[in-house]
Structure 1
């Protein structure tokens, strides 16, 4: 007790000395140097962010480096100021505006993160992965790799917006949870050590990405964000390459996502998906040759030259001659379908009926498809050996009558492209019109509806 008392006297004496020496003076500290987010004079970037995010949506964008907003113990580069507006333009155009069209003008105002934090580099993790974005409590989204962002590069744009779509799905799920039945679709396939498992394995188990295997919550966010960013054509193409059981699972997950958006927010997910694709197409218009083929995108081209307007004069003349020849043989030629299969096979199918139209027949022939994804240069070469079966035998029956059309397909080369310059319409979607133009004469072509 005595020792404690002595220490108390010493402390009291020191306190008395300190208080008696108190001086009134102004603290000379530059708080702006301590926290760069205290903004006195806004620059052009600040004003643009206010006009495009803060004022209309009450969303703050922090780009001045603040170490407390980012993970500790990680080396992260500050964002370059000149990268801020280009990046946030894409956030506005590819993320916000599609939701405004599909969900209403106030949707983002009602449900949105209230802050974006920008970082120049990625956050590197101990398991070999990198973090491109995070969401915290539905209030903040951190976007990394801003310094390497290029708004004219479609892959760069997709990478960044994919992160936002994923994190925003979490925010939506925090507002209205998704069905607990979702996690039963791929039960047993979730794997925390996802970085060590190949994408092919994820596909085979009904996951759209490797990261989707982390948990049902991440699976749902990956499913939703990938459907939005891939678009219907490319998403369906991926699903078609997976095993039958995986296709069933991925289609079930797709339906869960579609139902969730409709039930929880009255949003037509496919409309939202199309609006996102429209925004991406403004960055980089879709190229038919890069979207055609098994596992790539479109797998069919359907045409009825007799009723389709604006078929080229050369092709239509050959088609009409074939119809006349078929009629002489007691048949009515209806249409044709090209199916682009695995291993560069294209199956050409003619549909025809008997004279009265009471019986429908199909005639098939297989061609080797050579399509250059970059240039669109295409050739169709009739295979010397054809499969057996009724439909292939039928081609032998009508082959002479279809000789002109068959020769048109197999002679020379074509260039794949849209036909919207001749027949106005949307490109890049299911049902868009694609054409193959003769390389020796751009006025000679055939076209049809692109499908899957």
Structure 2
């Protein structure tokens, strides 16, 4: 009989436990933590329809700290400049590649998935200004949108130097990561690359640039490494007409031997783009150059 009396408290405890569990089952299933949706503005809609939907590319024009280089003091891109660059990039980058490739698939498969805009420019301790960076074959960061306005937005030299040469350069890095270029490219000037000393070896002066050309490099920065050399040659070639390109390699201080080295490497770049990506660089360049005269009347502000 004593055993029965001991079981009663235990049974009562179990009853209370089941009762508590039953009450918990009646809690509201809706979470108290609800993410608020930020309404899309006209630019958000344009970016989705023009970049994200057809190319699977996301453009971040609003400052996102996790996507920014915290090493530098940077400021966000102005809204108006973000509109201009987005429309100009579609006109001078996305459309030419799509037309030459024959479909949007080439860019959808290979173009960086994230592009960030920043108002200011990062400046290294040695005074070198960074115009753009690429990370892990998926992201490209563009700077100096503070300098993009109604006047500069129609200036081919400004647009090419600040943005579009940079985009082609960084895009080429991504293509190279997906498909390696021939090893014989590096062999042409393999012993002459100077790594991080490029800025002091070939300073951005008339003499420094001439010496770089004489050594077989299209620019001082091309002397840093063969990867940069390849991207520099590509980006300079597709954004300039033949007369301007010839003028580049015929500056004071250049040599016949240096020009021959550059042209030998350029031939490999062209062959690589044709054989690996089915992109004819001359056709791409012609398409891009044909758009330059239209910049004077191109609508850079209307979103539709």
| Same-fold status (TM-score > 0.5) | yes
After TM superposition, give the deviation of residue 30 of structure 1 in Å: 9.7
After TM superposition, give the deviation of residue 73 of structure 1 in Å: 2.6
> CA offsets per residue over residues 194-238 of structure 1, 9 Å max, x none?
112221211111111111011000000001000011222211232
2:284 aligns with one of 263, 269, 272: 272
Normalization by structure 2: what TM-score?
0.79
After TM superposition, give the deviation of residue 28 of structure 1 in Å: 9.0
Question: Does the 8 Å contact 1:79/1:119 carry over to 2?
Answer: yes
Work out the number of aligned pairs and report it: 255
Larger Cα Rg: Structure 1 or Structure 2?
Answer: 1
What is the rounded CA distance, in whole Å, between the counterparts of 2:101 and 2:247 in structure 1? 27
The residue aligned with 1:255 is: 267
| 2:193 is the counterpart of 1:190 | yes
Question: Does the 8 Å contact 1:122/1:130 carry over to 2?
Answer: yes
The residue aligned with 2:174 is: 171
What is the rounded CA distance, in whole Å, between the counterparts of 2:169 and 2:125 in structure 1? 22
The residue aligned with 2:81 is: 83
What is the rounded CA distance, in whole Å, between the counterparts of 1:239 and 1:118 in structure 2? 32
After TM superposition, give the deviation of residue 31 of structure 1 in Å: 7.0
> CA offsets per residue over residues 307-340 of structure 1, 9 Å max, x none?
xxxxxxxxxxxxxxxxxxxxxxxxxxxxxxxxxx
The residue aligned with 1:128 is: 127
2:217 aligns with one of 200, 207, 217: 207
Relative contact order (C-alpha < 8 Å, sep 6+): which is higher? 2
Which structure 2 segments of 5+ residues have no match? 1-26, 203-207, 298-304
1:155 aligns with one of 144, 154, 157: 157
Question: Does the 8 Å contact 1:122/1:144 carry over to 2?
Answer: yes
| 2:139 is the counterpart of 1:145 | no
SS of match in other structure, 2:232 = helix
The residue aligned with 1:408 is: none
> CA offsets per residue over residues 127-179 of structure 1, 9 Å max, x none?
21011111111111111111211321222211200110000000111111111
What is the rounded CA distance, in whole Å, between the counterparts of 2:132 and 2:35 in structure 1? 29
Question: Does the 8 Å contact 1:154/1:284 carry over to 2?
Answer: no
Normalization by structure 1: what TM-score?
0.54
| 2:167 is the counterpart of 1:181 | no
> CA offsets per residue over residues 50-74 of structure 1, 9 Å max, x none?
1111111111111111111111231
| 2:225 is the counterpart of 1:225 | no
The residue aligned with 1:68 is: 66
Report which of the two has the higher share of helix.
2
What is the rounded CA distance, in whole Å, between the counterparts of 1:131 and 1:31 in structure 2? 36
Report which of the two has the higher share of strand.
1
Which structure 1 segments of 5+ residues have no match? 1-23, 33-38, 286-452
Question: Does the 8 Å contact 1:202/1:210 carry over to 2?
Answer: yes
> CA offsets per residue over residues 227-274 of structure 1, 9 Å max, x none?
011222211232344311011101101101110111101121110111
What is the rounded CA distance, in whole Å, between the counterparts of 1:45 and 1:86 in structure 2? 10
User: Structure 1 residues 83, 205: closer, same or farther in 2, change over 3 A?
Assistant: same
What is the rounded CA distance, in whole Å, between the counterparts of 1:30 and 1:248 in structure 2? 64
